Structure 1
Amino acid sequence: MEPRTRVDEPIWLRSLIGWHIVFWVLVAMTLAVSFTADLSPGRRIVYTSATVVLAAAYQFVGMPAILSRRPLPSYAYRLVMIGCLMVLVALYPPSVFLMFIASAQIWLLSEQVREGAAISLLLVICVGSAQLWSAGWGWDAFWSILPWMAVSLVVSLLFGIWIERVITQSEQRAELIEELQSARDELAEAHHSAGVMAERERMAREIHDTLAQGMTSIVMLAQTAAVELQRGGTEGAAARLAAIEDTARENLAEARALVAAFTPVALSGATLTEVLRRQAERFAAETGVDVQVSLDLPDEEVAALPQGQQVVLLRSAQEALANVRKHAGATQVQITLGLSDDGVWIEIRDDGSGFTPGATEAGFGLAAMRGRVEESGGSVQVESAPGRGTRVQVLIPAEDV
């Protein structure tokens, strides 16, 4: 993983190694000059001492001040630097080449343009005065030095403004990178949370459409078997117990498939038509309700439907039958699977007690059915009224078929 850029460590600080190298090279050149220039022994000692003081001030005050941006060390170092440059230029005027690195350091340590401009002006005046002192304080020397002082000041100001903009842009870029990384982390967390919620909803629907409905069947069969045993009907009770065993085995297989995230067990070895007919037969045997399955499209076209759409159609039929079992009190149910210009559809119609859709659709069963169908791009229509039965139609658009 790449290290993150921090706002308190601007990108421009990475380029300081270059400024350090330039400074120490110029200091080395200055020391070499102290031994090669035509200076008296006394002046050579002062010249060398000023160079050493400048180097020590930079090492122990200037460099930490650049990194910490603390005002007191920053001002102290710049004043010491200007004083050392005055001594060096006064003793040996060609040392003015140190102005290059001095101007850069002034701006690196300045928090505002006004501050940098004022100290740059002070540097030019002090170094110019040192040159004038070395030349003997004459007017001819003054007029010869003045243009150089003006040019040096202008160059220093332009150079400083450029450095200030680079630093500002670098800090802004660092802040932008930080914000983008923070937004990326928040977006990743939001995507993760959304994925977790979607998976939980999917698992809830799968459990409701398989295990919960199977358990409901087992409970109802067990209750019926208990009643028949009380009446002495052992054959009927035995048939109910066999149906309980079959349902429990299927529920166990569904649970294993659910854990493994496989296709529903019922569709793994049969077509959707066959599974619907088996579901209808079992439902009729368990409840005594007459359930009919009809097709408005050839069997081979049903088998050619994408697996995901077959799962949606099957789960919708199972949910509708579960609602008939729990609420409708119907005597007849008609399941129809068809294909139209709008897409493939399945309709479950019963003659039960019906309900007011607005008052009941908030239940988990219909909400789960609607969520599953809408995820596949389809739609659910529910038509019902008290005493007039219920019609549920699930449609998957033609472009998805």
Structure 2
Amino acid sequence: MEQPRVVDEPIWMRTLIGWHIVFWVLLAMTFAVSFSADFSTGRRIVYTIAIVVAGATYQFVGLPAITSRRRSQSYSYRIVLIACLMVLVALYPQSVFLMFIASAQMWLLCERIREAAAFSVLLVVGVGTAQLWSAGWGWDAFWSILPWMAVSLVVSLLFGIWIERVITQSEQRAELIRELQSARDELAEAHHSAGVMAERERMAREIHDTLAQGMTSIVMLAQTAAVELQRGGTDGAAARLAAIEDTARENLAEARALVAAFTPVALSEATLTEVLRRQAERFAAETGVDVRVSLDLPDEEVAALPQAQQVVLLRSAQEALANVRKHAAATQVLITLGISDDGVWIEIRDDGTGFTPSAAEFGYGLAAMRGRVEESGGSVQVESAPGQGTRVQVLIPAEDA
């Protein structure tokens, strides 16, 4: 759902049309009602001129001052408005209800509360003086007008300060919303980037664990076949070529599954136990290494494992066998799949040359295996030493198994 857009203009500007309409309506009503008064021709002319001056000053000075926020224009407009209102009230006291819009504009055009309060005081004193002049400058008129002046001033100040606080809070909230929206956009971008990186790492692991290893097997089989052809061993070469074809077909199927983000082809066609045994047989046929698969849990329990965990276990075994092929120079490999109180685990042990585990932390294959296992909540243990073979164990905790 689209979020509301935060407008970067003052809240007064969003209601400017409403204030514009109210000003002209009140000015027109005041002028229309004034015809009910018994004015002399001179007073009528002065009153009309005051109305026209107030309207023209608002149109050509007040509005530009509101939109441009120029202090000189705002000062000029407010002084002229107060002067016009004093004339109108002095000639026709009922015009006093124009103070409603005039008082609001005193605050509309201010930048500080003190400035608005000063103009509000000037407005009330000016209009009160005009009323007093209209009443004949008597003390009785003064004391009757004074309460009204005081009430008008207090209401104007309280209302103006309250509105100013509301506007300040609104602007602060608008700024907070802008910051939240900016943070949300940055977070979404970060999540997107993280998702892209995670997907790239996943694809890299999948390619390394399937296609790259298959290509390595094809290269080694092709080299072996070439040697046997040179020696005249056509039967052995034919067997190697058949193995190359099988590996290439499997790689092609894995590539299609990878593009479609499916489960590994092998697991979609057989159980994990069967796939591990096929991998062991193929590895033995390609390398001459004796590979055995041992199960410490029934086949039905293996089949009951979640598909995602079976994929992790299979990929871990494939990576371990790839490392044996590349580095171990082993004669025997034992793959054991079991379950314990800690969870389901797979162990690949060889009798090869071994290595220093800390040096292997920088290899991509082991790092990819560790990343895949840790994503599933599991852990990887590597035990090895030069000349003493290697043991790799992958454990998925019981709560996830």
Q: TM-score, normalised by structure 1?
A: 0.96
Offset of residue 3 of structure 1: 4.6
Aligned match of 1:272: 272
- 1:100 and 1:196 map into 2 onto residues whose CA distance is 60
Higher RCO (C-alpha 8 Å, min separation 6): 1
Q: Secondary structure at the match of 1:348?
A: strand
Aligned match of 1:218: 218
Offset of residue 119 of structure 1: 0.8
- 2:349 and 2:10 map into 1 onto residues whose CA distance is 69
Offset of residue 55 of structure 1: 2.2
Aligned match of 1:386: 386
Offset of residue 49 of structure 1: 2.2
Offset of residue 63 of structure 1: 3.0
Offset of residue 136 of structure 1: 2.4
- Higher deviation after alignment, 93-102 or 267-276: 93-102
Q: Secondary structure at the match of 1:5?
A: coil
Q: Secondary structure at the match of 2:227?
A: helix
Aligned match of 2:243: 243
- 1:97 and 1:12 map into 2 onto residues whose CA distance is 22
1:206 aligns with 2:212: no
Aligned match of 2:6: 5
Q: Which AA in structure 2 matches 1:4? A: R
Deviations along 1:199-227, one digit per CA (max 9) or x if unpaired, are: 00000000000000001001111111111
Structure 2 CA distance for partners of 1:11 and 1:373, relative to 1, 3 Å: farther
The answer to whether the Cα contact below 8 Å between 2:209 and 2:318 also exists between their aligned partners in 1 is yes
Written as runs of structure 1 = structure 2, the 5 A alignment for 1:240-319 is 240-319=240-319
The answer to whether the Cα contact below 8 Å between 2:12 and 2:108 also exists between their aligned partners in 1 is no
- 1:37 and 1:181 map into 2 onto residues whose CA distance is 58
- 2:289 and 2:3 map into 1 onto residues whose CA distance is 66
Q: Which AA in structure 2 matches 1:275? A: V
Aligned match of 1:19: 19
Deviations along 1:314-359, one digit per CA (max 9) or x if unpaired, are: 0000000000000001000000000111111100000001110011
The answer to whether the Cα contact below 8 Å between 1:218 and 1:244 also exists between their aligned partners in 2 is yes
Offset of residue 25 of structure 1: 2.5
Structure 2 CA distance for partners of 1:307 and 1:179, relative to 1, 3 Å: same
The answer to whether the Cα contact below 8 Å between 2:351 and 2:388 also exists between their aligned partners in 1 is yes
- 1:2 and 1:387 map into 2 onto residues whose CA distance is 64
Q: Which AA in structure 2 matches 1:323? A: N
Aligned match of 1:54: 54
Q: Which AA in structure 1 matches 2:131? A: Q
- 2:91 and 2:3 map into 1 onto residues whose CA distance is 51
The answer to whether the Cα contact below 8 Å between 1:12 and 1:166 also exists between their aligned partners in 2 is no
Q: Secondary structure at the match of 1:261?
A: coil
Deviations along 1:251-297, one digit per CA (max 9) or x if unpaired, are: 11111110111111111110000000000000000000000001000
Q: Which AA in structure 2 matches 1:84? A: C
Aligned match of 1:331: 331
Offset of residue 2 of structure 1: 4.3
Offset of residue 366 of structure 1: 0.4
Written as runs of structure 1 = structure 2, the 5 A alignment for 1:76-87 is 76-87=76-87
Tell me how many residue pairs correspond in the alignment: 400
Q: Which AA in structure 2 matches 1:86? A: M
Q: Which AA in structure 2 matches 1:267? A: L
Please, which runs of 5 or more residues in structure 2 have no aligned partner? none
Written as runs of structure 1 = structure 2, the 5 A alignment for 1:123-142 is 123-142=123-142
The answer to whether the Cα contact below 8 Å between 2:284 and 2:290 also exists between their aligned partners in 1 is yes
- 2:70 and 2:377 map into 1 onto residues whose CA distance is 62
Q: TM-score, normalised by structure 2?
A: 0.96
Deviations along 1:6-28, one digit per CA (max 9) or x if unpaired, are: 3x313454344443343233112
- 1:109 and 1:213 map into 2 onto residues whose CA distance is 75
The answer to whether the Cα contact below 8 Å between 2:354 and 2:384 also exists between their aligned partners in 1 is yes
Q: Secondary structure at the match of 1:349?
A: strand
- 1:254 and 1:150 map into 2 onto residues whose CA distance is 88
Aligned match of 1:72: 72
- 2:41 and 2:264 map into 1 onto residues whose CA distance is 100
The answer to whether the Cα contact below 8 Å between 1:10 and 1:170 also exists between their aligned partners in 2 is no
The answer to whether the Cα contact below 8 Å between 1:293 and 1:336 also exists between their aligned partners in 2 is yes
Aligned match of 2:155: 155
Aligned match of 1:231: 231
- 1:224 and 1:379 map into 2 onto residues whose CA distance is 37
- Higher deviation after alignment, 175-184 or 51-60: 51-60
Offset of residue 374 of structure 1: 0.5
The answer to whether the Cα contact below 8 Å between 1:296 and 1:337 also exists between their aligned partners in 2 is yes
Offset of residue 122 of structure 1: 1.1
Q: Which AA in structure 2 matches 1:266? A: A
Q: Secondary structure at the match of 2:305?
A: coil
Q: Secondary structure at the match of 1:399?
A: coil
- 2:72 and 2:177 map into 1 onto residues whose CA distance is 31
Deviations along 1:46-89, one digit per CA (max 9) or x if unpaired, are: 21221222223223332343333221222121112111101101
- 2:82 and 2:11 map into 1 onto residues whose CA distance is 28
The answer to whether the Cα contact below 8 Å between 1:34 and 1:48 also exists between their aligned partners in 2 is no
The answer to whether the Cα contact below 8 Å between 2:383 and 2:391 also exists between their aligned partners in 1 is yes
Q: Which AA in structure 2 matches 1:270? A: A
Offset of residue 361 of structure 1: 1.8
Q: Which AA in structure 2 matches 1:383? A: E
Aligned match of 1:345: 345
- 1:353 and 1:2 map into 2 onto residues whose CA distance is 62
Aligned match of 2:170: 170
Q: Which AA in structure 2 matches 1:124? A: V
